[in-house]
Amino acid sequence: MTLAAARPRVLVGTIAPLGESGQTSAIGKSPAPAPRRIGKVGLEGDAQADLKHHGGREKALHHYAFDHYAPWREEIGEAAPLAAPGAFGENFSTTGWTEETICLGDVIRFGSALLQVSQGRQPCFKLNLRFGLRDMALRVQRSGRTGWYYRVLEDGAAQEGDALELVERPCPEWPLSRLSRLLYRDTRDREGLTALAALPELAESWRALARRRLETGKVENWSARLYGRRLQG
């Protein structure tokens, strides 16, 4: 179990209009250097506009690797959101931690709070609106540079400058990149899906998704998530 501690930029956001789309979102995050309480549904002062699909106990905190910003600049150019951490709606921005080095179920200490990696991110159409690209969510999905979520095992408090430290790795064979491959690329890998459905550390919604694929032999339709219902057709 070797993973160097990381000192994240800490970011929070409030609900606001997202461009001229008529949508509201808290995807725009700003630095929050002062100490913050961390409870079961996330950071003090952070918000989510769509509580059906965002936030909640299994998605209390979003982490995105700042390492990915340079590849995105190469791919899409100097898009305005990429000027500073927070482009992808993340609460934590770090270097050195990516989907290749973080595993499902990793238990992380941050300040006095104890966190656990619960699932990867399923990118949604609000990324399209934020970046002004109709297919940005699909690009994120295909890239594997999705980020991940934490559940909060123990409430606490932390601030920018505190370290994220790995304290336990119960699933070393499940880096988040493997989850992403099963979810988006090797979508009919029955052996992999069977193992995925049995992981107690994984958020129940993802376990249920794996069970549905196994039962039906079908992959769910991603159109509404990736493009928004009004943009289909």
Q: Indicate whether 16 belongs to any domain.
A: yes
Q: Indicate whether 186 belongs to any domain.
A: no
pTM of the model: 0.94
Q: Indicate whether 197 belongs to any domain.
A: no
- With bands split at pLDDT 50, 70 and 90, how would you rate the model's confidence at 82? very high
Q: What is the CATH number of the domain that holds 99?
A: 2.40.33.20
pLDDT in tens, 123-151: 999 999 999 999 999 999 999 999 999 99
- With bands split at pLDDT 50, 70 and 90, how would you rate the model's confidence at 162? very high
Q: Indicate whether 176 belongs to any domain.
A: no
What pLDDT does 107 receive?
98
What pLDDT does 193 receive?
98
pLDDT surpasses 60 at 231: no
Q: Indicate whether 216 belongs to any domain.
A: no
pLDDT surpasses 70 at 163: yes
Residue 41 contacts by C-beta under 8 Å, 6 or more apart in sequence?
Answer: 55, 56, 57, 60, 152
Q: Indicate whether 118 belongs to any domain.
A: yes
What pLDDT does 232 receive?
39
Contacts for 101-104: CB closer than 8 Å, 24+ residues apart:
101/3, 101/175, 102/3, 102/63, 102/148, 102/175, 102/176, 103/169, 103/171, 103/172, 103/173, 103/174, 103/175, 103/176, 104/171, 104/174, 104/175, 104/176, 104/179, 104/199, 104/201, 104/202
Start-to-end C-alpha separation, the chain? 48
Q: Indicate whether 1 belongs to any domain.
A: no
Domain that holds residue 153: 9-171
- The domain total for the chain is 1
What pLDDT does 20 receive?
75
pLDDT in tens, 6-39: 999 999 999 888 877 778 898 999 999 889 999 9
pLDDT surpasses 60 at 116: yes
What pLDDT does 1 receive?
64
What pLDDT does 230 receive?
52
Q: Indicate whether 217 belongs to any domain.
A: no
What pLDDT does 33 receive?
86
- Give the phi and the psi of residue 194 in degrees, each rounded to 5: -60, -45
pLDDT in tens, 172-227: 999 999 999 999 999 999 999 999 999 999 999 999 999 999 999 999 999 999 99
